[in-house]
Amino acid sequence: MPTPEAIREILFSLQDVPYRDFTAKLLPTVDPATIIGVRSPAFHKAAKEIYKAGENDAFLRQLPHGYFEETNLHAYLVSQGKDFDAVVRGLDEILPYIDNWASCDSIRPPVFQKEHERLFPVCLRWLGSDLPYTVRFGMEMLMTYFHDDAFTPAFNDAVAAVQSEHYYVRMMQAWHFATALAKHWDATLPVLTERRLSPWVHNKTIQKARESYRITPEQKERLRKLR
């Protein structure tokens, strides 16, 4: 049962200064002074051990955290829960403190995999947030858990309805639709032919899709004409 202080010590014991400096360059929205610099394999090993130790309530109550890795650890501990509602409550607590694409994109709650009916309305709520990284997270959950057998055009409708000038929200929109084109071409193409996206997201979607090996040459040519 590590204390919050002990958890911070664990993270600093894994510090890699050159990696910290490299990470800071990738995260322009994060204060470099708040980055410890822990490589992913070491971080995930430590996170698993801390999760297994259990009783991390004191750490989870310490919001906001002082360091990038502490916020990521918090999100990891919450996302590993087995109770769907508890995981959603925990995410609702930490998402307002997510301020970068890397933290946002690293959250993958296993409990969401088989809870599509319960997850979709939660994603819609996240899409309606005023917080850009909460919106991005909602899009990513749709892209992660609904782009296979659970897919319906309603998921495209929900993402297309988001209006944002935030760069990292628009990038996730484009990523979502490029993925949807690769997996569900017929259901997704109308989003582009009907010009339902902002010009920037529309063109970025086409760019990302045409860069994908999952899009056929014929499809890429069709997309080129939609610019």
**85 vs 48: CA distance, rounded Å:** 21
Residue pLDDT tens, the chain, 227 long: 678 999 999 999 999 999 999 999 999 999 999 999 999 999 999 999 999 988 888 999 999 999 999 999 999 999 999 999 999 999 999 999 999 999 999 999 999 998 999 999 999 999 999 999 999 999 999 999 998 888 989 999 999 999 999 999 999 999 999 999 999 999 999 999 999 999 999 999 999 999 999 999 999 999 999 99
The size of the chain, in residues, is 227
Q: Within 13 Å and on the Cβ side, how many CA atoms surround 131? A: 17
**94 vs 102: CA distance, rounded Å:** 14
Helix-helix angle 185-193:199-210, to 10 degrees: 140
Domain ranges for the chain: 1-111, 115-227
| CATH class assigned to 115-227 | mainly alpha
DSSP state, 226?
A: T
Describe the chain by its helix, strand, coil percentages, rounded to 5. 70, 0, 30
